């Protein structure tokens, strides 16, 4: 990569940010496209967020990704937020359009694209069980809702939080049947026998045990999805595979949301396989 006086800068704001895989895959995509851009990580402390956002304009940065803990808090500092980002209540991509900062959310689009292209799953008319009611769940539920699913069950440890989320989306998508459930429903044959897709939208499986779903009670065609991308086969997915169910890991969502962001900034379509392949060495299990 050759840096010149005309090189355009894009990047990612987060705290911490050194663990992010986005610079790897985005720079690989930029190099493949032959674009004179560089993608950099910027560690932005919460108290510095407003100043950092103003710096996008001041420095002529073409755009940035936004990651934890800034996705919700960044919204008041933007000039405009897309309908999808507003629905989700968070922004993961900022576009600098001639000094106007526009907030996008590509997470839900990335998830739906992964469902279709990697999972061979068409959401329209399907019954979905989403585990979790946090920010990731909101994005996934928004994406599924905008793609005309039939039923969304929201299972969460705190049922009241799940109910609040179900009610919020019910008011916006009246054609969809939303229900909030306790985690005990993950073993309920009446619920599980109806679902076409089960999504783990929590961080369970990273630092604690995976959600305990009785996958044998789901229909044989049910797809089981986990938003966690490392390991490629999480304990949640392993249990589903042992029950003979098809599974989908979180890497596709990571790659596709990044590809959509890149297209917003550059108007060029990235090769998702180039981005995916750039991450393979960093996601492979360590050799003992």
The tokens of 198 are what?
């089960």
Exposed e or buried b for every residue in 193-211, given b needs 16+ CB within 10 A? ebbbbbbbbbebbeeeebb
3-state secondary structure the chain: CCCCCCCEEEEEEECCCCCCCHHHHHHHHHHHHCCCEEEEEEECCHHHHHHHHHHHHHHCCCEEEECCCCCCCCHHHCCEECHHHHHHCCCCEEEEECCEEEEECCHHHHHHHHHHHCCCCCCCCCEEEEECCCHHHHHHHHHHHCCCCCEEEEECCCHHHHHHHHHHHHHHCCCCEEEEECHHHHHCHHHHCCCCEEEECCCCCCCCCCCCCCHHHCCCCCEEEECCCCCCCCHHHHHHHHCCCEEECCHHHHHHHHHHHHHHHHCCCCCHHHHHHHHHHHHCCCCC
Active-site hit among 2, 8, 54, 71:
71
Query: Is-catalytic flag, 71?
Result: yes
User: Contact 14/43 with Cβ under 8 angstroms?
Assistant: yes
User: What residues are labeled active site?
Assistant: 71
């Amino acid at each position: 990569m050759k840096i010149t006086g005309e090189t355009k800068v894009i990047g990612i704001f987060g705290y911490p940010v050194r663990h992010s895989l986005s610079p790897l895959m985005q720079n690989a995509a930029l190099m493949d496209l032959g674009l004179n851009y560089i993608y950099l990580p910027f560690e932005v402390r919460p108290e510095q967020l407003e100043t950092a956002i103003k710096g996008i304009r001041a420095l002529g940065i073409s755009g940035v990704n936004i990651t934890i803990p800034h996705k919700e808090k960044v919204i008041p500092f933007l000039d405009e937020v897309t309908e999808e980002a507003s629905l989700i209540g968070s922004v993961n991509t900022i576009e600098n359009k001639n000094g106007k900062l526009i907030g996008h959310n590509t997470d839900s689009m990335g998830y739906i694209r992964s469902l279709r292209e990697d999972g061979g799953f068409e959401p329209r008319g399907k019954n979905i069980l989403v585990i979790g009611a946090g920010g990731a769940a909101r994005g996934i539920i928004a994406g599924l809702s905008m793609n005309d699913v039939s039923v969304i069950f929201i299972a969460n440890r705190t049922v009241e939080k799940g109910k609040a989320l179900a009610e919020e989306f019910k008011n916006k998508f009246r054609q969809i049947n939303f229900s909030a459930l306790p985690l005990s429903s993950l073993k309920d044959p009446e619920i599980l026998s109806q679902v076409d897709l089960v999504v783990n939208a929590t961080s369970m499986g990273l630092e604690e045990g995976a959600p305990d779903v009785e996958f044998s009670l789901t229909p044989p065609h049910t797809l089981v999805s986990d938003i966690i991308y490392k390991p490629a086969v999480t304990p949640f997915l392993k249990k589903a595979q042992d029950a003979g169910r098809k599974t989908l890991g979180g890497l596709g969502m990571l790659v596709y949301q990044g590809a959509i962001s890149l297209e917003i900034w550059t108007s060029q379509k990235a090769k998702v396989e180039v981005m995916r392949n750039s991450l393979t060495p960093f996601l492979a299990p360590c050799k003992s």
